[in-house]
Structure 1
Amino acid sequence: MAQGTGSINSDYKDWEWSDDAGERARLLQSPSVETVPKNSESQGSGLGATSALGAVFIVVNAALGAGLLNFPAAFSMAGGVAAGIALQMCMLIFIIGGLVILAYCSQASNERTYQEVVWAVCGKVPGVLCEVAIAVYTFGTCIAFLIIIGDQEDKIIAALVKEPEEVGSSRWYTDRKFTISITAFLLILPLSIPKEIGFQKYASSLSVIGTWYVTAVIIIKYIWPDKELVPVEIPTSPSTWTAVFNAMPTICFGFQCHVSSVPVFNSMKQPEVKTWGAVVTAAMVIALFVYTGTGVCGFLTFGAGVEQDVLMSYPSNDIPVALARAFIILCVLTSYPILHFCGRAVLEGLWLRYTGVTVEEDVVRERRRRLLQTISWFLLTLLLALFIPDIGKVISVIGGLAACFIFVFPGLCLIQAKLSEIQETRAISWWAQVSYGVFMVTLGAFIFGQTTANAIFVDLTA
């Protein structure tokens, strides 16, 4: 891609397949493909073009894409501000640790995507389970992104046409299905077609600024509230002990950028674990401030009556909030392609393994297959978002998968990586790292099992 310009994909080559088989291999590495060592590869022209600062923006954008608006409700479920912040801080340690583990295993295994790292380090069965989990998670999240766009556009349109929201609009061009479709076709689909996500650093910078604005609006609205915004009861403790655990999937879903992290790590100019540690720490600190500000102030503004999407609790004619909704739309527009890239990588890996064709042999047909995968994925998510607008029950079931990506698979990778080391004596640090991996797997399995069982129980009893 041409560098030094402000446009996205201005070079027609960004939309074509690559004649460099090595470039393609680095993007979607198949376990059956023999590769040169990483050191010799880095001496060529295969290094990424994303700077450390650009990587920070991409990681922050991936983390803030969908979970930002749910944190006030998560604080309410957790039982108040103190419980919400404490839970968030405890989980952040393992969230950052998981990101660093994935980068370490990616470098050690010479793999370039999340699922291929798990496949190479942990073996076939965990690899297949990881691919299935990624496909389900990214597909469901893309549907959620489109629904978020529809929710925000409904409020914005209601303010522009000045019609009561409960009555609905009689104009065809303000219909929810039309607005979601036109936004998706004009903006999301073009961003989803390119084969790399490094270009996202431009759009991601804008969306990160947008999330800061959303947080600022929610904080200001709490400090200087409107007269009609009167909070109901403000919980100070969880209703039940399990309520705290019910808030954990929202936190995991909010901070979950692990699926996208491996491609981002390998798109950097200097893909080193130490540099990556600084990148993800800075990114998670930014996300922490944004989430905490949004969660605390949104929760204290509306109390137990806060909506799952906090912006839906504000009136549609509030101009600053309307601008915040526009920024959220921008954030989601740039998050959809990142998650879609990871889902498409899973489909590509499954296809290459099924056909037994190596990446180098199949480069010529890559563009045609990429277009087919992208368009099929896009149309299915759009149709489901249009005709099944309320997918809260579905998201509640797959929300626990975020805990698997943050805790379970990185923990398994760390355990396997340490067990594969040939050492005559096991140092204390070795045992500490293995124990850390075991704890991560146990914690992730508990969160996934508890939240999934609870979601199914709630759905069956609803």
Structure 2
Amino acid sequence: MGLTPLFQVSLVFLISGLVILGYASSVSRQKTYQDVVREVCGQAVGQLCEVCFCFNLFMISVAFLVVVQDQLEKLCVSLYETVTGSSEGEMPYHWYTDQRFALFIMCLIIILPLSIPKEIGIQKYTRYSALTCVHKYIRLSVNVCATSLSWASMFSVVPTICFGFQCHEACIAIYSSMENQKLSHWVLISVLSMFFCLLIYTLTGVYGFMTFGRAVASDILMSYPGNDVVMIISRLLFGFSIITIYPIILLLGSVVLNLMLRVQRRRRGIITHLFESRCRVVLTVIWISFTLLIAMFVPDMGQVISVIGGISAFFIFIFPGMNKITLMCVAVLTVWGVITIVVGAFIFGQSTTIAVMEIFQNI
């Protein structure tokens, strides 16, 4: 319960950021996040937005692969126990049973072919984790004593909140595709979407914590046994959703990188279709290769979340705050924009510091 005020305050910033971005899109008549920031805040801030945009998507791709790798580990254990009848502790180590090798094969034969095409169809997936955590808590009936949280521990979850609720990068594209672009309609959509996200994440987090307490893993599905049929289905569905989302994230990042390359190429000569195709393929291979290498050697999902949470502060707080100051003539809203920027700068500094400290501790 100690986190409730923090969630409430966070939702105020999250929703206000979505609203101002929709308003900025309607005023500037731009259809992407970076174009809106460039049009409203200037060329320099727009370039900073593009860099942050690509880096944030890159780290999200790393996080997705880390999650997939965790699920592959549990699935390999489940398969071994089913085939041999032995326990997890008796499983011998072979290079071909390592989850990192399995992740490499998955990237090679599934993710890469899905990411190469220029256009990717809309991927539909299901959120199964929340229902699974509630179901397992009821069946296990584990009682964990509630513990009080310090202010320091409360602020340490802010990067996770930013990671879980970040949708601001795509909100302008969503707003631009709406038939009814009235601001009141956009406010209603923003409030409802944040409410449903809060409901799903709260169910997952609360019941996971009530089941395992402070021993719960950063990737909550890793805390559950690998030989449970319900959890196996959950891991398969969850892994499928990540695999289908990854190409979309890669496409968004490669579009921005391609635009940067096209600007440089245009200064030197004519841009051909062959050049664009080669750039797309090369960028896709490089993106997957580097995210795969980082994901293989990241020991904890929490480190990736800290980095993403810091960068997300730009899209959730800092850039929307700049838009408020630039577009709003009302003094109260200008003050709110300044507060939003200050809070975003604090979250970025805190999250980045936590990530750097954790990296040095593991060296």
Q: TM-score range by the shorter chain?
A: 0.7 to 0.9
Measured in 2, the distance between the counterparts of 1:363 and 1:433 equals: 47
Alignment of 1:298 with 2:208, yes or no, is yes
Label 1:267 to 1:289 Cα distance change in 2 as closer, same or farther (>3 A).
same
SS at match of 2:254: helix
SS at match of 2:236: helix
Q: Specify the alignment match of 2:3 in structure 1.
A: 84
Residue identity in the other structure for 1:375: V
Deviations 1:51-84 (A, max 9, x none): xxxxxxxxxxxxxxxxxxxxxxxxxxxxxxx122
Contact 2:63 2:304 in 1 (8 A): no
Question: Which of 133, 137, 148 is 1:218 aligned to?
Answer: 133
Measured in 2, the distance between the counterparts of 1:371 and 1:272 equals: 39
TM-score computed with the length of structure 2 as normaliser: 0.87
Q: Specify the alignment match of 1:77 in structure 2.
A: none
Q: Specify the alignment match of 1:243 in structure 2.
A: 153
Alignment of 1:345 with 2:255, yes or no, is yes
Alignment of 1:150 with 2:69, yes or no, is yes
Measured in 1, the distance between the counterparts of 2:12 and 2:341 equals: 14
Shift of residue 274, structure 1, vs aligned partner: 4.3
Shift of residue 411, structure 1, vs aligned partner: 1.1
Shift of residue 307, structure 1, vs aligned partner: 1.1
Q: Percent identity?
A: 39
Measured in 1, the distance between the counterparts of 2:90 and 2:60 equals: 29
Higher helix content, 1 or 2: 2
Contact 2:306 2:354 in 1 (8 A): no
Question: Which of 104, 112, 115 is 1:181 aligned to?
Answer: 104
Shift of residue 461, structure 1, vs aligned partner: 4.8
Shift of residue 366, structure 1, vs aligned partner: 3.3
Measured in 2, the distance between the counterparts of 1:363 and 1:110 equals: 29
Counterparts in 2 of 1:43-58, with a 5 A limit? Answer: none
Contact 2:60 2:308 in 1 (8 A): no
Alignment of 1:98 with 2:17, yes or no, is yes
Counterparts in 2 of 1:258-269, with a 5 A limit? Answer: 258-268=168-178
Shift of residue 196, structure 1, vs aligned partner: 4.9
Deviations 1:208-234 (A, max 9, x none): x3x2x32112112222316xx664x53
Aligned positions, number = 356
Deviations 1:272-291 (A, max 9, x none): 54444333333222211100
Measured in 2, the distance between the counterparts of 1:436 and 1:183 equals: 46
Gaps of 5+ in 2: none
Shift of residue 151, structure 1, vs aligned partner: 0.6
Label 1:192 to 1:433 Cα distance change in 2 as closer, same or farther (>3 A).
farther
Deviations 1:138-160 (A, max 9, x none): 11221111111111121122112
Measured in 1, the distance between the counterparts of 2:109 and 2:263 equals: 33
Q: Specify the alignment match of 1:449 in structure 2.
A: 349
Label 1:277 to 1:375 Cα distance change in 2 as closer, same or farther (>3 A).
farther
Q: Specify the alignment match of 1:28 in structure 2.
A: none
Question: Which of 165, 181, 197 is 1:255 aligned to?
Answer: 165
Label 1:305 to 1:344 Cα distance change in 2 as closer, same or farther (>3 A).
same
Contact 2:14 2:316 in 1 (8 A): yes
Measured in 2, the distance between the counterparts of 1:325 and 1:259 equals: 27
Shift of residue 293, structure 1, vs aligned partner: 0.6
Deviations 1:389-416 (A, max 9, x none): 6565354334311122111111112211
Gaps of 5+ in 1: 1-81, 419-425
TM-score computed with the length of structure 1 as normaliser: 0.70
